[in-house]
Amino acid sequence: MEKSLRFLTNGYAADVDAVLNNALFTVDYNEMLIVKDIDFYSLCEHHLLPFFGKCHVAYIPQGQVVGLSKIPRLVDMFARRLQVQERLTNQIAETLREKIRPLGVAVVMEASHLCMSMRGVEKQNSVAVTSAMLGVFQHDARTRMEFLDLIKRPDAVHRSAGTSIAGTACMSAD
């Protein structure tokens, strides 16, 4: 049990700069970059029960990008602490803003909380959604909506639009 708890909370021992490992690159790219559907697992700091789900992260670079694999590592670093989903969402967004100074950062997290399904209200299919919108994502509704549209679940897009996200992206790119 001790070994398991050490693993589940090893984010406290992690250092942001070590996680990013100097994987910052100067690039002439100023369009939205998204890493979506990042699986994460964390422990509720109030009940010590797991919450888990998907994290979607976007940013618009301003001369510097971070290695793509560093974004899920950053999510894991903060998730592997006793957490509340709201703080977790903000920590990811604020860290990216601080380290790469983009035009904006957006983070959306969707999670099932065992503290809501196993105890308390005992709601089995509820999902908590949190978001942090910084910079251009906060101030520009079109940029925010583009991000939110791009992270939609393909099955939801199939039901509502009759096509996939990939198909939509290809049509709009022409």
Active site residues: 44-47, 85, 113, 115
Report DSSP state, residue 56: E
Q: Tell me which H or E stretch contains 72.
A: helix 70-79
Q: No. of H helices and E strands in the chain?
A: 9, 7
CA 164 to chain centre: 21
Report DSSP state, residue 130: E
3-state secondary structure of 87: helix
Q: What angle do CA 13, 17, 23 make, to 5 degrees?
A: 135
Answer yes or no: are the C-beta atoms of 157 and 164 closer than 8 Å.
yes
